[in-house]
Structure 1
Amino acid sequence: MNGQNQNGKVISSKGKGRGCLTWLGRIMLLIIGLSIVGYIYEPIVEAAEMKAYPPPGQMVDVGGYHLHIHCTGTGSPTVVVESGWGDMSASWGWVQPEVAKTTRICTYDRAGMGWSELSPEPRTAREYAKELHTLLVKANEPGPYVLVGHSMGGFTVIVYAHDYPDEVSGLVLVDTQDLPTSNVATYRPAPKPGGTPIPALLARIGLVRLLGGPLGSVENLPDGDKQAYTAFAVAPRSVQTFIDELKGMPEGGAQARAVTSLGSLPIIVLSRGKDQDAKHTAAQTALLQLSTNSQQLFAEQSGHPIHIEQPQDAIAAIVKMVEIVRQAIQK
């Protein structure tokens, strides 16, 4: 069909179609062009940020790839921190310097997060525990360890204490993520890392960096830690690992759920005071059943990231556990 414009000239439907196709073609060319620019620009920015924020600790070969570990302070037992899902060592910027005044403390980055390189293995609690064990041995950081696990990191330290009992002298579970319920029948095994999910692809062309907003409570971190965290959080490697860790979480939770007792190992459960619900409250209380020597503390004014929102409570819980372990050794 044909139509007329305001001047009475006849405009064919074919002409309209060609005009739309022309504009669509221009838009597609613009998108492709911007994507190419982003693909070139992203690694340049990453290299600049790696230079601006070098790893504060050491990079250790754990079998074909390197993990970053940062240890400060002196004394025993050594505190080893396991961060939560998609988190990195820089998020402990308030906690580490204070604990280091009492004893030695090590934070590290899981494979693919922070300064650490990617691992080829599925992202599950048992794999994290194995990698951490190798890292500590290769870094010459002997036990016994007080293991601190935040959120999903609680799964890892529970499994670590079960798999390497002679190396662990105490646990601090910082608002550990809810374990699967006992009636969970099946879970999907974690896949190997990799693939190109859409978020990782968007990060690779710089869109995550461009569109990413403020990172919530991370804004409260000390200068230096905050900038490093923000820079690495939007890197393609971190975005890919974020997805991989999510895929591995059901299996990791099941691995931790299978640990029903750690004997009389000292355990402190540090729970958030805000944003609680009955399910989380019950899950936190249930963690006390892991040991005959357990206690629960609360960070009354904090949400889930206690080590950022109320770091003094995280510090106090860790130092308290260090004192418990030291007193046990003296007896």
Structure 2
Amino acid sequence: MRMVEAFHTCHGRKLFSKYSLKGTPSVIFIAGLGDSSESWDVVQDRISRITSTFSYDRVGVGRSEAAPLPRTCLDLVQELSELLSSIPMEPPYILVGHSFGGLVARLFASRYPAMVSGIVLIDAAHEYKELAYEKILPEKLISVNRAYLENPMLNREKIDKLRSYKEVVDHSRQSNIPLSIITSGLPDGGDRDDGNDDNDGDDGEWPQQEILQMEQRLQAGFKRLSTVSKIRVAGRSGHYVHHDEPEIVIEEIINMLKGMEL
């Protein structure tokens, strides 16, 4: 297996990607807000021994050039589609999305269902999750949480979350694409959103256990997105399951690949 590092121009901006070619399905790794392709190193290296893999830095992240802001989830999907067409990475794709990357994976699969043969969601963000949080947050944190939902300049990639959530909801439909949902089993510091600069770190005010339980309920709801879905709790992991228990993510991807051989 040889990993190729390359830059390709999408919409006039240079984007960095890292990929290996070893047959299909190709496994596409989509990071959470503010995370680069390096977030996938351990898992990508292992899966690259089995099949083709791809990870990349979104605009303004890692080694990729910046772009006019703010942007939406649909912008990210179009960017990924164009980037994949620039390299010899053949479909079908298994999309592996972490946190906000799960929303990108879902929207990509909704727009290009014929190109997607499987989806793995890793502690994936639920649309409008900030509104769900308001049911459990103390009064003094609700305005902070709402500002993070409504103001794109407060997250690491300056993503317009309200427009992005609407895009995902508008395109959402049940499919028969195999879906594996991995949710964390341990509470994190901050508000469990890897894109929130302002609320990272636990100051003792965020109700972490209640947020974990809320996240698990929201993510369990993803099962409705596919007629072939399952959920697994990573009991020793916080939000970054692919760092805390990479073997679980690797196992789910391998099981999905094996299922496609039947």
TM-score higher than 0.5:
yes
Q: Find the aligned partners of 1:136 and 1:121 in 2 and give their Cα distance.
A: 23
Secondary structure, counterpart of 1:242 in structure 2 = coil
Give CA-to-partner distance per residue, 1:229-288, whole Å, 9 cap, x none. Answer: xxxxxxxxxxx982513xx22322332233432311110001111126331111111000
Q: Out of 132, 149, 156, which is 1:242 matched to?
A: 156
Q: Out of 303, 311, 329, which is 2:238 matched to?
A: 303
Task: Tell me which residue corresponds to 1:317.
Answer: 252
Task: Tell me which residue corresponds to 2:217.
Answer: 282
Q: Does 1:273 align with 2:221?
A: no
After superposition, the Cα gap between the structure-2 partners of 1:189 and 1:128, relative to the gap in structure 1 and judged at 3 Å, is farther
Residue identity opposite 2:74 in structure 1 = R
Shift of the alpha carbon at 1:180?
1.6
In the TM superposition, 1:185-196 aligns within 5 A as: none
Residue identity opposite 2:258 in structure 1 = E
Q: Does 1:99 align with 2:47?
A: yes
Secondary structure, counterpart of 1:173 in structure 2 = strand
Residue identity opposite 1:254 in structure 2 = K
Q: Find the aligned partners of 2:150 and 2:243 in 1 and give their Cα distance.
A: 32
Residue identity opposite 1:321 in structure 2 = M
How many residues are matched? 223
What is the RMSD of the two structures over their aligned residues, measured on CA atoms?
2.7
Q: Does 1:124 align with 2:83?
A: no
Q: Find the aligned partners of 2:83 and 2:69 in 1 and give their Cα distance.
A: 15
Aligned residues of 1:69 and 1:109 also touching (Cα < 8 A): yes
Q: Out of 133, 155, 171, which is 2:103 matched to?
A: 155
Aligned residues of 1:179 and 1:283 also touching (Cα < 8 A): no
Aligned residues of 1:155 and 1:256 also touching (Cα < 8 A): yes
After superposition, the Cα gap between the structure-2 partners of 1:155 and 1:134, relative to the gap in structure 1 and judged at 3 Å, is same
Structure with the larger helix share = 1
Residue identity opposite 2:237 in structure 1 = S
Aligned residues of 2:177 and 2:226 also touching (Cα < 8 A): yes
After superposition, the Cα gap between the structure-2 partners of 1:123 and 1:166, relative to the gap in structure 1 and judged at 3 Å, is same
Segments of structure 1 that go 5 or more residues without pairing to the other structure are: 1-54, 192-196, 198-239
Q: Give identity over the alignment, percent.
A: 29
Secondary structure, counterpart of 1:271 in structure 2 = strand
Task: Tell me which residue corresponds to 1:138.
Answer: 86
Task: Tell me which residue corresponds to 1:218.
Answer: none
Q: Out of 58, 83, 88, which is 1:110 matched to?
A: 58
After superposition, the Cα gap between the structure-2 partners of 1:190 and 1:63, relative to the gap in structure 1 and judged at 3 Å, is farther
Aligned residues of 2:13 and 2:67 also touching (Cα < 8 A): yes
Secondary structure, counterpart of 1:258 in structure 2 = helix
After superposition, the Cα gap between the structure-2 partners of 1:74 and 1:293, relative to the gap in structure 1 and judged at 3 Å, is same
Task: Tell me which residue corresponds to 2:175.
Answer: 263
Shift of the alpha carbon at 1:56?
6.1
Q: Find the aligned partners of 1:71 and 1:85 in 2 and give their Cα distance.
A: 20
Task: Tell me which residue corresponds to 2:196.
Answer: none
Computing the radius of gyration from Cα coordinates, the structure with the larger value is 1
Aligned residues of 1:264 and 1:292 also touching (Cα < 8 A): yes
Give CA-to-partner distance per residue, 1:7-58, whole Å, 9 cap, x none. Answer: xxxxxxxxxxxxxxxxxxxxxxxxxxxxxxxxxxxxxxxxxxxxxxxx9610
Segments of structure 2 that go 5 or more residues without pairing to the other structure are: 133-146, 188-208
Give CA-to-partner distance per residue, 1:82-104, whole Å, 9 cap, x none. Answer: 00011010011111110111111
Q: Find the aligned partners of 1:241 and 1:281 in 2 and give their Cα distance.
A: 22
User: Which TM-score applies when normalising by structure 2?
Assistant: 0.77
After superposition, the Cα gap between the structure-2 partners of 1:243 and 1:127, relative to the gap in structure 1 and judged at 3 Å, is closer
After superposition, the Cα gap between the structure-2 partners of 1:73 and 1:137, relative to the gap in structure 1 and judged at 3 Å, is closer
